Amino acid sequence: MELKETNGNMKQLTGGTGTDELILFVNGKKVVEKKPDPEMTLLTFLRRRLGLTGTKLGCAEGGCGACTVMVSRYQKHTQQVLHYSVNACLAPLCSLHLVAVTTVEGIGSVARKLHPVQERIAKAHGSQCGFCTPGIVMSMYALLRNNPTPNMADIQEAFQGNLCRCTGYRPILEGYKTFTKEGGCCGGRGRDNGCCMTNGNAAEEDIDESSPQPLFNAAEFTPFDPTQEVIFPPELMSLSRGQKLRSLRFHGDRVVWIQPSSLEELLLLRSQHPNSKLVVGNTEVGIEVKFKNMLYPVILAPTFIPELNSVQHTEEGIVFGAACSLSQMGVVLRKAVATLPPHQTEVFRAVLEQLHWFAGQQIRNVAAVGGNIMTASPISDLNPVFMAAGCKLTLRDKDGCRVVQMDDRFFTGYRKLAVRQGEVLVSVEVPFSRQGQYFSAFKQSPRREDDISIVTAAMSVTFVPRTTIVEDLRLSYGGMAATTVLARKTANTLLGRPWGEELLQDACSSLAEEMTLDPSAPGGMVTYRRTLTLSLFYKFYLIVQQKLVKDGVCVEQVRSECLSATEIHHPETPSSIQVYQAVPEGQNPENVVGRPMMHLAALKQATGEAVYCDDVPLYENELYLAPITSSKAHAHILSIDALEAESMPGVVACVFAKDIPGSNTTGPIVHDETVFADSTVTCVGHIIGAVVADSQLHAQRAAKAVKINYQELQPIITIQDAIAAQSFYEPIRTIQRGDLEAGFKQADHILEGEMHIGGQEHFYLETHATLAVPREDGEMELFVSTQATAKTQALVSRALGVPASKVLVRVKRMGGGFGGKESRSTLLSTVVAVAANKLKRPVRCMLDRDEDMLITGGRHPFYGRYKVGFMSSGKVVALDVTYYSNTGNSMDLSLSIMERALFHMENSYSVANIRGWGFLCRTNLPSNTAFRGFGGPQGMMVAENWMNDVAQSLGMSAEQVRRINLYVEGDSTPYNQRLDQITLDRCWAECLSRSGYQQRRAAVELYNRQNRWTKRGLAIVPTKFGISFTAAFLNQAGALVLIYTDGSVLLTHGGTEMGQGLHTKMVQVASRVLAIPCSKIHISETSTNTVPNSSPTAASASSDLNGAAVQNACEILLKRLEPYKTKNPKGSWEDWVKAAYLDRVNLCANGFYKTPDLGYDFATNSGRVFNYFTYGVASSEVEVDCLTGSHKNLNTTIVMDVGHSLNPAIDIGQVEGGFMQGLGLFTLEELRYSPQGVLFTRGPGTYKIPAFGDIPTQLTVSLLRDAPNQKAIFSSKAVGEPPLFLAASVFFAIKDAIIAARAESGLSGPFQLDSPASAERIRNACADRFTKLCPPAEPGTFTPWDVQV
């Protein structure tokens, strides 16, 4: 049979023509796949073919770890079974012949028995939304299979490839610390990990009330017994042992996968198919196929060719086969470093340093050394090392073999190599270093863990024996050109010269000239990248100088204040303390309010049994939808050609505006959007139509084939563009109080300033998902991942032209929301409902991460301008502030968000004369939307910035100026709301004492005097967050409570569960009111047919509103049961229920609640905006590397007033999770747009949320004691959004450190640092002799790669 290659000329394949069958074992069961598809990933196979939905899709690019599974294979040469974690989203099914795959379902379940790994993450409160939990469980499980007693460093390394957006990571590490050697005793710090305080050895004296209380008891955990693990399937063992090496072939519709059995066969195939692609780990090709639309009709998988897997030790160094994984390379090099003399292993240590920060463990386990070289990435982490070391590469084709040295002639252009057609890389030799040679490697990236480099460098110097004269010098850089480059000119000018200050000066001047970049270069950050080439050389210079002294070669000592620049960063094990008020003595054990109860779904989440929207089993005739989106920011649509798409395999229909039976206008408040763009598109990512097909792959492929012709219009992208064009939405909001003119006259000083605050992507681990099922009579049932069931129902009914009563919206749980699913979820729900209605078949869509990030908008970027008047004492007397938000192409919720920013413009400070303006900028970006804090953080950030400026201009400490201006009891806000029950001063005082602030300040100042190139900074920041929807009508909630005759209770309320523990708290409330155990109460889901017209689960107010509604319903039922309790006081709950039923009493009750006395009027600046305020204070300490801009979060102490906590475990989880999200917002996360409005950052590869390594090394969270709040359920307070802003303490600690760095260069006074304080901004602000050599290009003389929106 002839195989037709898609490009027309695939030759007759050598040998057999049929398809082999693929055998693999999944969770111990044998699976035989007769016709495996080479384009199918393991993840799709598990979820769609086998129905194992515990493994989740988070990003499809191996960057989030949600899809982690364990793969085990028998290795013939070692006769051992190898276990390793992999990303199922990248692993090709065809690469898994004769392997065992273990998924989260395979290690334990709630129904059978939990594995300790599952139990501990749940009981330690390490699972909130639960979407990332199965992946984290499997990373930990794979670690324990290889190392049953790991240390904390092993655990942190295992989690480098896993992300979590909810928990803030601390409880995950805490739960898993119990598996470690050091997890036993906490050294008397009161931690509960097998702690003497809980195993009966504690001293009998009273424990101090404000000392840490454990949130879980490790003594209750099931012991971990490594001998009881699932065995490697015996049948697979015999199959693997008996397997003769033979080639395999798998034929798909478009691709053939060939696994050759020998090097000869591989070389022959390579010559026959010169355009074939070699795939080992699929970590690069998988991305190209998925995101760059590449198609490789012939895939060669050389994974099992002995020559490509061998490791040989030679006279010159170690030779690695090109298919060796990076993990394997690491093991071999670590062994070599441990056994060989140090002078031989300089290069090996540099490779190991790069490997430690190379992607995540799951990628390193499969990515091949050869693949890293041959993909020729200009920002490769390893290629500069191989180049500077002069590694030798062995290349072979069918005619012979040659050895080339890896130097700057090897890379001939962007992703091009000096490799002949048909040649295959067989091996790479990593050489020993020699006496007198010193070698270092550096990597600078936005985030340390699992991140793509901005600049990488490797540097090697060899000296004339026993002198400091340079004999050989190689400086290799990645990220400075289209290829990895050598700075030959600089190196040549330094040969023969002594290693000293003069050489350093000349090297830097020469590098600044040689390492230039076009100001429009891809990747942007041009000034920063150029500065890094010098800074990294300076680090190398100091490291070498230090080593020369150590090796006894006469050279002057490195000055003590410069030593910290030579330190290599190694993460420290984080430690933490949580403090909360225990329930009063004598509280009934069944009354669980106030106790740290585990999230109700945590165990299910840890076993993969919790069902999310896309886990709902497939319907019989279900279809899959893929959106067709605009590639232009602003344009008229001239024509749409869907003919090719409609004729593609599996496609059922294309859906456009003409298919909408109801209205095409939509929007959460103002109907200023369309379901499908009709004649004009107003952003990149604007949904124009959709393709519906029999599978996701077919639908997405066809969507890319739809051809659209545009007539482009001038887009407005940035806030500055909008101000210039006066492009604003109405109304423009303003709040004013006091006499501004008089205030400025009274002031001793006046300063003006401005600040940009970047946007933020929600990065919920579960992207937007909807499943629409048409029913009879025009009914539509929708399973949606949304925070707003009623809004979804209303907009779907509008699009379909049916009454809302015919649309049922159901939400079981969300894998995170954070505001991103409050209104933007309707973009997808309406589209999917229209398609299901047209085809009268169930239609499903879960957006891929790149689609989700492109289409759905995020937190509003803000620009603030201020003029502030203040006295010499530091007291602020006048403020005039203007906010501009980048609203995007529709109003969405932006007006309410701007209003909240204005309501928080003074943060926690009393300003007598104040005015705030708020402008909504109409731009051609996807509409920005709600995000945890809802404008509050942006409003308060600008406030803290002018506070900092005031302190700096007066030369006072910032904490002093903040303290002078804090609100006190009885003060009034700019919107004339009087503050009562204010606890700011208590939070402030406790935060100062718990953090040891004054001692820290003294230590920081000493450290900064002693160190030139690293500086520490410290800041303390308060927050005051108003609780209530600012739209008064939303402050209402309903609940439905049903009691069945067996005494069990079904509870429903209007709030949705997205990981914040709302359902858990509602069950606690019902349990307390009904005085029955939680085990009798069940919440199934949130739906529009049980509680109608519910407000979105947002504004932190859901526990308050729904809790009061649940309380109301339960009290109604208790009243009805009262007569039966009186009649039979000794009876049980079941007796009373049965008696009431037999007496024909209604055992179902509706509860309702509305927050009293709310309603504010902007026109008169009067009325109550908020029901109450949540207060908090945080102090943070950081260390900044002034040469690279990296920073370490050393210490954070948070004191939060959450009233009487309903559940301290959940509330502390919210505080930590919110804080970490804020840490991302203010220090790490950057959305990058082109000047044409195209989003570059569309996944975890380019958009960095905080990872495990970003948590402060010491983290203390204390919930304020004795602070009951009379205005909410059981004296509690809202907790979801308020803590997020406290991460500003890290931003201002960074700014504090930069102030110290600038002082070294003689710079003082206020300076502008925009948010986020990325490594680039930090480095550029730490002006020094290196930044002077790399001045930025004049704005206006070039087109930047990206713009600040």
Confidence category of residue 1260, pLDDT binned at 50, 70, 90: very high
Q: What is the DSSP string of 780-795?
A: EEEEE--S-HHHHHHH
- What's CA 342's distance to the chain center, in Å? 39
Contacts of 581 (CB under 8 A, 6+ apart): 209, 594, 1204, 1205, 1208, 1263, 1265, 1266
DSSP per-residue letters across 826-871: HHHHHHHHHHHHHHTS-EEEE--HHHHHHHS--BPPEEEEEEEEE-
Strands (E), 315-358: 317-321
Kindly tell me the burial class for residue 292, based on how many C-beta atoms sit within 10 Å of its own C-beta (0-12, 13-18, 19 or more): exposed
1198: helix, strand or coil: strand
* Banded model confidence at residue 12, pLDDT cuts 50, 70, 90: very low
The 10s digit of each residue's pLDDT in 702-719 is 999 999 999 999 999 999
Enumerate the H helices of 521-573 as residue ranges.
526-550
pLDDT at 181: 84
Q: What's the pLDDT score for residue 78?
A: 85
Using the predicted structure, report yes or no on whether residue 2 has a pLDDT greater than 90: no
Model confidence at 212, in pLDDT bands (50, 70, 90)? confident
Q: How far apart are CA 782 and CA 789, in angstroms?
A: 10
What CA–CA distance (Å, rounded) separates 880 from 736? Answer: 9
Tell me what pLDDT residue 182 has: 80
Burial of 455 (C-beta count, 10 Å sphere; 0-12/13-18/19+): buried
CA angle (78, 79, 82) in 5-degree steps: 80
Query: d(Cα 1324, Cα 1294) in Å, to the nearest integer?
Result: 13
pLDDT digits (tens, 9 = 90+) for 1124-1178: 999 999 999 999 999 999 999 999 999 999 999 999 999 999 999 999 999 999 9
Whether residue 832 is predicted with pLDDT greater than 60 in this model: the reply is yes
pLDDT at 967 over 80: yes
Packing angle, helices 346-356 and 326-339, rounded to 10: 140
Read off the pLDDT of residues 456-505 as tens digits, 9 standing for 90 and up.
999 999 999 999 999 999 999 999 999 999 999 999 999 999 999 999 99
- 1062, 129 Cβ separation under 8 angstroms: no
| Residue 723 φ/ψ, nearest 5 degrees | -65, -45
User: Within 13 Å of residue 377, how many CA atoms lie on the same side as its CB?
Assistant: 17
Q: Backbone phi, then psi, for 846, in 5-degree steps?
A: -120, 120
pLDDT of residue 208: 52
User: d(Cα 952, Cα 947) in Å, to the nearest integer?
Assistant: 9
178 with 167: CB under 8 angstroms? Answer: no
- Are the CB atoms for 28 and 233 separated by under 8 Å? yes
The pLDDT tens digits for 81-127 are 999 999 999 999 999 999 999 999 999 999 999 999 999 999 999 99
Decide if pLDDT at 323 tops 60.
Answer: yes
Looking at residue 569, what is its pLDDT? 87
Cβ-based neighbours of 935, under 8 Å, separated by 6 or more: 860, 885, 896, 897, 898, 899, 900, 901, 904
Range in 72-81, 349-358, 947-956 with the lowest mean pLDDT:
72-81
Residue 207 has pLDDT above 80, yes or no: no
| Predicted local distance difference test score (pLDDT) of residue 243 | 83
pLDDT score for 519 = 97
Q: How confident is the model at residue 803, as a pLDDT?
A: 98
pLDDT for res 571? 86
Q: Where are the alpha helices (DSSP H) in 1011-1079?
A: 1062-1074
Beta strand 80-87 pairing with 68-75? antiparallel
Q: What is the pLDDT of residue 155?
A: 97
pLDDT of residue 682: 98
Backbone angles phi, psi at 950, to 5 degrees: -60, -50
Q: In what order do the strands lie in the sheet with 248-251?
A: 248-251, 256-259, 298-300, 277-278
Burial class (CB in 10 A: 0-12, 13-18, 19+), 569: middle
Beta strand 470-478 with 455-463 is antiparallel
Helix (H) or strand (E) holding 1215: helix 1208-1227
Q: What is the CA radius of gyration of the chain?
A: 31
pLDDT at 4: 35
The stretch 1305-1319 carries a mean pLDDT of: 97
Q: At 14, is the pLDDT very low, low, confident or very high (cuts 50, 70, 90)?
A: very low
Q: Does the pLDDT of residue 184 top 90, yes or no? A: no
Q: Please state, in angstroms and rounded to a whole number, the distance separating the CA atoms of residues 476 and 410.
A: 13
Report whether pLDDT(145) > 90. yes
DSSP-assigned beta bridge partners for residue 397: 400
Q: Distance between CA 1057 and CA 812 in Å, rounded?
A: 7
Closest by Cα among 162, 129, 136 to 59: 162
List Cβ neighbours of 889 (8 Å cut-off, separation of 6 or more): 673, 682, 683, 686, 922, 923, 924, 925, 926, 927
Residue 1016's closest CA among 1268, 1337, 656, 1296? 1296
Biggest alpha carbon distance in the chain? 104
- Of the candidates 592, 550, 380, the residue with the CA atom closest to the CA atom of residue 476: 380
Which of 708, 671, 709 is closest to 691 using CA atoms?
Answer: 708
Q: What is the pLDDT of residue 488?
A: 97
Q: Are β-strands 1036-1043 and 1148-1154 bridged in parallel, bridged antiparallel, or unpaired? A: antiparallel
Q: Report d(CA 788, CA 1094) in Å as an integer.
A: 8
Mean pLDDT of the chain: 95
For residues 1033-1051, give the mean pLDDT.
98
**pLDDT above 80 (res 274):** yes
Listed in sequence order, the DSSP H helices in 1075-1207 are 1102-1127, 1133-1142
Here the tokens at position 646 are 């409609």
Whether residue 793 has pLDDT greater than 90: yes
Of 290, 293, 297, 292, nearest to 87 by C-alpha is: 290
Q: What is the pLDDT of residue 211?
A: 72
Lowest mean pLDDT: which of 263-272, 285-294, 787-796? 285-294
Give the single-character DSSP code of 45: I
What is the C-alpha separation between 643 and 727, in angstroms, rounded?
38
The predicted structure's pLDDT at residue 189: 42
Helices (H), 1051-1149: 1062-1074, 1102-1127, 1133-1142
| CA angle (1046 as vertex; 1040, 1048 as ends), nearest 5 | 40
Average pLDDT over residues 644-648: 98
Detail the DSSP E strand segments found in 252-406: 256-259, 277-278, 298-300, 311-313, 317-321, 392-397, 400-405
**Does residue 301 have a pLDDT over 60?**
yes
d(CA 771, CA 790): 16
Map tokens 């690695």 to a residue.
320
Give the angle 988-991-994 at the CA atoms, nearest 5°. 150
In this structure, are residues 41 and 25 in contact, taking their beta carbons and an 8 Å threshold?
Answer: no
pLDDT score of 210: 64
Enzyme catalytic residues: 1281
Question: How far is 1189 from 1264, CA to CA, in rounded Å?
Answer: 35
Q: What is the pLDDT of residue 501?
A: 96
Split at pLDDT 50, 70, 90, the class of 983 is very high
**Average pLDDT for residues 1219-1245, to the nearest whole number?**
98
| Confidence check: pLDDT of 772 > 90 | yes
Task: Give this prediction's pTM.
Answer: 0.97
> What's the pLDDT score for residue 196?
37
Q: How far is CA 1085 from CA 203, 421, 1050, in A?
A: 46, 59, 10
pLDDT of 1204 over the 60 cut:
yes
CA angle 284, 925, 760 (to 5 degrees): 65
Give which of 945, 848, 812, 1096 is closest to 67, Cα–Cα: 848
Does the pLDDT at position 209 exceed 80?
no
Q: What is the bridge-based pairing of β-strands 1081-1082 and 1086-1087?
A: unpaired
Coil, strand or helix: which one is 749? strand
Cα gap 214→524, rounded to integer Å: 47
Where would I find the beta strands (DSSP E) of 931-1029? 1014-1027
Out of 121-125, 227-231, 692-696, 979-983, least confident range: 227-231
**pLDDT tier at 554 (50, 70, 90 boundaries)?**
confident
The band of 17, judged by pLDDT with boundaries at 50, 70 and 90, is low
